[in-house]
Amino acid sequence: MPSPATPTIDGASHLHSGKVRDLYELADGRLLMVASDRISAFDHILERPIPDKGEILTRMSLWWFEQLADLVPHHVLSTDVPEPVRGRAVICEQLEMYPVECVARGYLTGSGLLDYRDTGEVCGIPLPAGLVDGSRLPEPVFTPATKAALGEHDENVSYDAVAATVGDQAAGRLRDLTLAVYGRAEEIARGRGIILADTKLEFGRRADGTVVLADEVLTPDSSRFWPADDWQPGRTQPSYDKQIVRNWLLSPESGWDRASGEAPPPLPDEVVSQTRARYIEAFETLTGQPW
């Protein structure tokens, strides 16, 4: 996968670029996290970005951090960022990041559905028989995953595997926080007519051992949001995310062969505009704020 282009920011040293975010270190040791307009699908960063996506993700994360502040501290120190990235970046604290994707699922879909069909379980957790795509689970479950390198897939792992990596106490804390965040967010989203099917969180640790919520939180890039009035188990649910992009890439219209290993073609204008509109709709519906 080609390395994504990153902006040069005066007074900041570039440290790392992911699929969407660019990370810099400031002279005082704090970090500058910038959300780009890049969009990825099937482990490829696509050629055409989605206008305003980085600002949407940043504003949505900031809103959610406020809703969760009494449950877990977050990493944001300031939104007073350099002018070239204003609105799409935050200054945050340096943390020792836990090497695990903390996933909570309240509904069965995606990789969890594939695991269930193969084994009747998700990450070693037995589930009732007869569930289908979109089924609501009896209770939310913690289904962690490995943090894959850029261009590779995260892989679901068991709770025991997390405990073996970070220790029993930390694993328990990560599980409890993940489920608490999901529970709070699911209730808020449901009150706004949106189902939070699942979400992926990242946590870090301060020098004093405090666990801190980091990176992005509860955005369409890290979560599955479904319109509650369209929920119908047994089929793929309409969603507030980049499913429009995935659907086009897999359609005959794109002409792309996923198995070829080649980069996907550029998105057409219509798909770009529809995707942008979907992200904005998610932001406005959840936060109640106008874009």
Q: 166-176, pLDDT tens digit by residue?
A: 999 999 999 99
pLDDT at 187: 98
User: Measured between alpha carbons, how far is 242 from 260 in angstroms, rounded to an integer?
Assistant: 22
Average pLDDT on 139-162 reads 83
Is 80 exceeded by the pLDDT of residue 4?
Answer: no
Interhelix angle for 269-287 vs 243-250, to 10°? 160
pLDDT at 3: 45
Binned at pLDDT 50, 70 and 90, residue 153 comes out as low
pLDDT at 146: 86
HEC-encoded secondary structure of the chain: CCCCCCCCCCCEEEEEECCCEEEEEECCCCEEEEECCCCEECCEECCCCCCCHHHHHHHHHHHHHHHHCCCCCECEEECCCCHHHCCCEEEECCCEECCEEEEEEEECCHHHHHHHHHHCEECCEECCCCCCCCCEEEEEEECCEECCCCCCCCCECCHHHHHHHHCHHHHHHHHHHHHHHHHHHHHHHHHCCEEEEEEEEEEEECCCCCEEEECCCCCCCCEEEEEHHHCCCCCCCCCCCCHHHHHHHHCCCCCCCHHHCCCCCCCCHHHHHHHHHHHHHHHHHHHCCCC
> What percentage of the chain exceeds 70 in pLDDT?
96
Binned at pLDDT 50, 70 and 90, residue 2 comes out as very low
Q: Which helix (H) or strand (E) holds 194?
A: strand 194-205
Is 70 exceeded by the pLDDT of residue 144?
Answer: yes
pLDDT at 1: 39
What are 81-126's pLDDT values in tens digits?
Answer: 999 999 999 999 999 999 999 999 999 998 899 999 999 999 999 9
Q: What is the mean pLDDT of the chain?
A: 94
Binned at pLDDT 50, 70 and 90, residue 160 comes out as very high
pLDDT at 150: 52
User: Measured between alpha carbons, how far is 291 from 284 in angstroms, rounded to an integer?
Assistant: 7
Is 70 exceeded by the pLDDT of residue 139?
Answer: yes
pLDDT at 24: 97
Among 37, 2, 81, residue whose Cα is nearest residue 279: 37
What are 225-277's pLDDT values in tens digits?
Answer: 999 999 999 999 999 988 899 999 999 999 999 999 899 999 999 999 999 99
